[in-house]
Structure 1
């Protein structure tokens, strides 16, 4: 558990580092300390083979980074920050979409890039990981918040990414809306997914929804 004094130090260090408008922030002492912690935590994660257990470990580690993230989001001016971007990715991996989106808004505003080793751009990564996280939750029978999916679409609407990735987002959005009884809107998203990626696997779902809408109209 991080002490109040430690949380305050991390938040203030994050503010000082994030106020740098350009260039690396590694000169900041607090930033260096957090990079060391991040290195050690990544080393721990590499020792875990199970993706499920990795996600569990990330959930345990993430609260320790919360003061840093809060400082950057409150006072940041767009300095590239490997700690912040790693936390965003870990939150997506852990299924914490709302907190990941809070960082995503900042990252997209300032055009921050993912850490070294990630080939996807930031909007590409956000859209795909939100879609896949929501899909895993949906397939496990968990409730998926439609607002998070719609926010992701809005955030990434003007960004460039593969059509297949955007199709994933429309597909899971369609499924969640279908289960909420919003069939016409669900149909629109599934049709958009098919338009973007013909092999996304929604053709039968579209047929069933169209049939259900026709039957409801004929009653």
Structure 2
């Protein structure tokens, strides 16, 4: 049973007050709102462990996420950057559930305040955000599915200054390059400079990791650019 409007409002306000009162960089522990959501998180993680399918886990997370929304809203509105396992975990769950806009809203807060991921995630915060979004995009692109270019651009902006392995950042450049030139043809060359922008992104991906798989995409984009470029002297 979902929360009523009154319950959602109360949880958001309480989370906002607790987050505003918490000190930066220290664990957000002891508050009623946080402890309530942390207990819910532990229960939900146990439920997820009973599901073996990744698709099944993602579908279950999508069902679970609304229960955390008021708390997340409150923290994002007033938080000072206290370490918060609920916030960082729900950020990842939103990516898993394909709620990329919601995930990146949390990511902006998490990166601004330098929140750390729980040990079980085994990657730095910036690396996890860049790599998870990139891998979701690359998977969609392999099956000829679309992926919002604006999501990839925002991910690049948020993680531009974050330290991570070159191979992880290459995935993000590759996915963004592919999305930039996706569907472009001689008859539909996109916006002025769009193909060239895609080429630069693909080149950067290959510079970072020569085995990233972007060489075929780069060749195709460069051939298209030659076709749409005006003749010299015109």
TM-score by structure 1 length? Answer: 0.95
Deviations 1:151-175 (A, max 9, x none): 1111111111000111000101111
**2:31 alignment partner, one of 12, 28, 42:** 28
Report matched runs for 1:121-132 at 5 Å.
121-132=124-135
Question: For residues 26 and 73 of structure 1, what CA distance do their matches in structure 2 show?
Answer: 17
Q: Does 1:95 align with 2:98?
A: yes
Shift of 1:134: 1.6
Q: Does 1:159 align with 2:171?
A: no
**Structure 2 vs 1, CA of residues 51 and 145 (structure 1 numbering), >3 Å: closer, same or farther?**
same
**Structure 2 vs 1, CA of residues 135 and 191 (structure 1 numbering), >3 Å: closer, same or farther?**
same
Query: Which stretches in structure 1 are left out of the alignment for 5+ residues?
Result: none
Question: For residues 78 and 91 of structure 2, what CA distance do their matches in structure 1 show?
Answer: 17
- Kindly name which structure, 1 or 2, has the bigger radius of gyration based on alpha carbons: 2
Q: Does 1:117 align with 2:120?
A: yes
Shift of 1:14: 1.4
Answer whether contact 1:17 1:79 (CA < 8 A) is retained: no
Q: Does 1:208 align with 2:220?
A: yes
Answer whether contact 1:26 1:32 (CA < 8 A) is retained: yes
Pairs aligned (count)? 219
Deviations 1:113-166 (A, max 9, x none): 112312111111110011012222333433311111111111111111000111
Report matched runs for 1:133-144 at 5 Å.
133-144=136-147
Shift of 1:204: 2.1
Question: For residues 80 and 128 of structure 1, what CA distance do their matches in structure 2 show?
Answer: 22
TM-score by structure 2 length? Answer: 0.89
SS in 1 for 2:229: helix
Answer whether contact 1:15 1:75 (CA < 8 A) is retained: yes
